[in-house]
Structure 1
C-alpha cells in the first residue's frame, strides 16, 4: 500500500511557526512560576523599602507605577501603529521601550515578594485570580519579548501579546493595589 506524499504546509500556517516557540516558552514560564509558588514554603517577608509602612504598600505602589507605565505603553503602541488621530512623534518608540523597561523593573520586586513571601495561594477568589494572572502575566511578558526578536510574524502577533501583557497587569493591579487602597487606604 502506498501513501500519498505529504503536502507542504500552506503559507498562512507557516507564519505561525515563529509564534509557537515564544508562546511555548511563555507557557513554560507561567507553569514554572505557578509550581514554584505552590511548592515553595512562604517566608511571609521578602521586600520592604524605607519610607513605606510595610511590604504591602511597597507592592501596591510599585504595582501602581507599573500600571501607570503600562498605560503609557498602550498609548505609545497605539501611536506607533497609527491608531491615534495624531502622528506619533519621532521619540515615541524610545518612550515605549523605556516605559516598558521601567514597568518591568517596578514589577519584579512585587513578583519576588508574592512568590517568595506569599506563595501561590487560593484561599479567596480574589487571591486565586491574582495568583493565576500573576503567573500568566510573566509568561505573556516573556512570550512578547521573544516575539520581538522574530521576523516574519503575523501582523496581529505583537499587538495580541502586548494586549495580553497589558490586560494581565490591569487585572493584577485591580486584584492587589486597588484592593489595598480601597480596603486599607492610600497611606505609604
Structure 2
C-alpha cells in the first residue's frame, strides 16, 4: 500500500507534462506550417530585429539566473538567502519579466521566420524554442498544485532554465560572436 501513494502522485504529473508537450508540439507545427512573413519586430535604438532578439534574450537569461538563485534560496539550498521575505517576490517578478521580454522574440521567430531546419544551429534553436514554451506551460501548471511530486517543480523549472540558456547559446551568443555586441 505504501507504493501506491508515490505512484498516484507521479501519475498526477502526467497532466502538466502532457499539456507542456502539447504546447511544444503546437508551436512547432504552427511554426512549420505558417508561411513566414519576413516582417520583423524592430525597436527604436536597435540596429536590426536580430539585435532586438539577441538583447531581449540576453535580458531574459540574466533574469533566469536570478530565478535560479532565488529558487535555490526558496528551497533552502542557499543558507544566506533562505527565509528572506523578499526572495519569493523577487523570484515571481523576475520570472514574469523574463517571460515578458521573450514574447516579442517568440512572436518574431514564429511569425517572421517560422520553424526552420535548413542548418543545424537553426534547427536546434527552433526545437529549443518549442521546448522552452512547453516547459514553461508545464511549470505554470505545477505551481498551484500541492498534490504533485516534490521533484516536479524543480524539474520543470530546470527544464525552462535549460531551454532558455540553450536558446541564448544558439541565437544571442551566435549573433554577438558573428556580428559583434554593438552593431
**TM-score, normalization: structure 2?**
0.96
2:39 counterpart of 1:54: no
Instruction: Kindly report which structure 2 residues correspond to 1:113-132, keeping only aligned pairs within 5 A, or say none.
Output: 113-132=108-127
Q: Which has the larger radius of gyration?
A: 1
2:63 counterpart of 1:72: no
Q: By how many angstroms is 1:158 displaced?
A: 0.4
* 1:15 match: secondary structure: helix
Q: By how many angstroms is 1:87 displaced?
A: 3.5
For residue 174 of structure 2, what is the aligned residue in structure 1?
179
What is the CA–CA distance in structure 2 between the aligned matches of 1:25 and 1:110, rounded to whole Å? 22
For residue 39 of structure 1, what is the aligned residue in structure 2?
33
Runs (4+) off by over 2 Å: none
For residue 27 of structure 1, what is the aligned residue in structure 2?
21
Deviation digits for residues 120-150 of structure 1 (CA, Å, limit 9, x no counterpart):
0011111010000100100000000011121
CA contact (8 A) 1:18 1:150 kept: no
**TM-score, normalization: structure 1?**
0.93
Q: By how many angstroms is 1:155 displaced?
A: 1.2
Q: How many residues align?
A: 181
